[in-house]
Amino acid sequence: MSRIVSPGQLIVLSAPSGGGKTTIAHALLKQDRNIVRSISCTTRLPRPGEKNQKDYWFLKPNQFLTMQRHGAFLEYAKVHSHWYGTPRPWVHRQIQRGKDVLMVIDVQGGLAIKKIEPQSLLIFLKPPTFSILKQRLIDRCSDSPRAIQQRLHDARKELRQARFYDVVIVNDDLSQAIREVLDTIHQFRNAAAHSKPSLTVGKLNFQ
């Protein structure tokens, strides 16, 4: 017997480096089994503890550019001197299966997705203050002082672009931020399941 499966939703989660998007993404996957994370391709080297095909597809630049030329990416962007891209076929298969696909990507990629998929949900995680963001980058001990300065420079630009996202959530208290992101996703999902009636949550309006 065949069964009708409602298509899943495309959800973008963005934040400046050190904004907590990876930690919150892991929590979402544990608490909601209908959410699957899109694994991006990247040309950067793995950080300690990261695994190929689990955290990212780690590619050589020539491999990435070949895939780019063949239209294999839903979106792609160069961030911090490295390429990142979302594999198109995998995302479409998950949505057809009724899964909500979570894309943890930068602002460039998020805004590109919104142009391609206007019905997607864009969530931006904002640090409580810029000084706290800087301290988070220092504390994670994964970047050189020069790299941290570059990430802070990029963060200023990303924070200015947050206004183009559907909803902005301040990641001050981690547990609270996780609850707010989950609530937003669930309301977005329910709105889509009921022919997208008007639903307002703070500054977020689902039509």
Report d(CA 112, CA 76) in Å as an integer. Answer: 8
> pLDDT exceeding 70 applies to what percent of the chain?
91
CB 160 within 8 A of CB 89: no
Query: Domains plus CATH for the chain?
Result: 10-201 (3.40.50.300)
Angle between helices 107-116 and 145-161 (to 10 degrees): 30
Q: What is the pTM of this model?
A: 0.78
Beta bridge partners of 79: 82
Query: Residue 13, class by beta-carbon neighbours within 10 Å (0-12 exposed, 13-18 middle, 19+ buried)?
Result: buried
Does pLDDT of 148 surpass 70?
yes
Residue 42 sits at the vertex; the CA angle it makes with 40 and 44, to the nearest 5 degrees, is: 145
**Which tens digits make up the pLDDT trace of 99-126?**
999 999 889 889 999 998 999 999 999 9
Residues, the chain: 207
**Which tens digits make up the pLDDT trace of 7-61?**
899 999 999 988 889 999 999 999 999 999 998 899 999 988 899 988 899 999 9
Largest alpha-carbon pair distance within the chain? 59
